[in-house]
Amino acid sequence: MENKAIQDKWPEIGTYCWGCGRNNEQGLQIKSYWEGDECVCTWKPKRYYCAYPSRGCGGIITTILDCHCLNAAASAAHRAEGREEGTEPPIAYATGSLFVKFLRPTPLNKPWIFRARIKEVKERKTTVSCSLFVKGIECATGETVNIRINL
């Protein structure tokens, strides 16, 4: 059975996001997958995403963390309703708040691994925590509050 990324299951309306949109050729095109109760995104940065030589840009890290957490929240909501991502009616989220803490410089020469977990689910809000690892070392942490919206 094919293991499609969460982003590849969404309807066309949300596929042009710069961070996670599969139809945005200039975007980051992140891909998120469930591994147990963690939603995992592995992304390989290019040199032009640097802030300093060989170090990742905080804005790019923040964008990936935000998009990854939004996708985790929407996917978890679909699963809670017993249905596949991308099925009708669509479930979508917008960022209500975003906090990122940079723990150390993030190297560019190895894949970035984002590991997100659903922390809390309320009626319209889902809180997701996420950490960024490079070579097994935690480089950044973050938390998003995602607000369920109608499309």
CATH of the domain at 133: 3.10.129.10
Number of domains observed in the structure of the chain: 1
Please report the pLDDT score of residue 34 as a whole number.
97
Contact 39, 71 (CB under 8 A): yes
What is the per-residue burial (b if ≥16 Cβ within 10 Å, else e) of 107-146? bbeeebbbbbbbeebeeeebbbbbbbbbeeeebbebbbbb
Give mean pLDDT, residues 6-28. Answer: 88
Which residue has better confidence, 1 or 119? 119
Structure tokens at 136: 């097994």
Instruction: Give the list of residues 6+ apart from residue 14 with CB closer than 8 angstroms, or none.
Output: 21, 92, 151
Instruction: Read off the pLDDT band of 1 (50, 70, 90).
Output: very low
Contact 29, 104 (CB under 8 A): no
Phi-psi bin for 135: left (phi > 0), alpha (psi -120 to 50), beta?
A: left
Query: Does residue 14 belong to any structural domain of this protein?
Result: no
Considering the entire predicted model, what is its pTM?
A: 0.95
Please report the pLDDT score of residue 90 as a whole number.
87
Give mean pLDDT, residues 27-42. Answer: 97
Query: Does residue 141 belong to any structural domain of this protein?
Result: yes
Query: Does residue 17 belong to any structural domain of this protein?
Result: no
Structure tokens at 106: 């993030």
Structure tokens at 115: 């590991």
Query: Does residue 97 belong to any structural domain of this protein?
Result: yes
DSSP bridge partners of 4 = none
Please report the pLDDT score of residue 43 as a whole number.
98
Give mean pLDDT, residues 73-94. Answer: 94
Which residue has better confidence, 64 or 47? 64
Query: Does residue 69 belong to any structural domain of this protein?
Result: yes
Query: Does residue 62 belong to any structural domain of this protein?
Result: yes
Which residue has better confidence, 17 or 133? 133
Residue 86: which domain range?
31-149
Query: Does residue 85 belong to any structural domain of this protein?
Result: yes
Query: Does residue 115 belong to any structural domain of this protein?
Result: yes
Q: Is residue 117 over pLDDT 90?
A: yes
How distant, in Å, are the alpha carbons of 8, 55, 62, 88, 126 from that of 119? 24, 29, 18, 25, 8
Mean pLDDT rounded to a whole number for the chain: 93
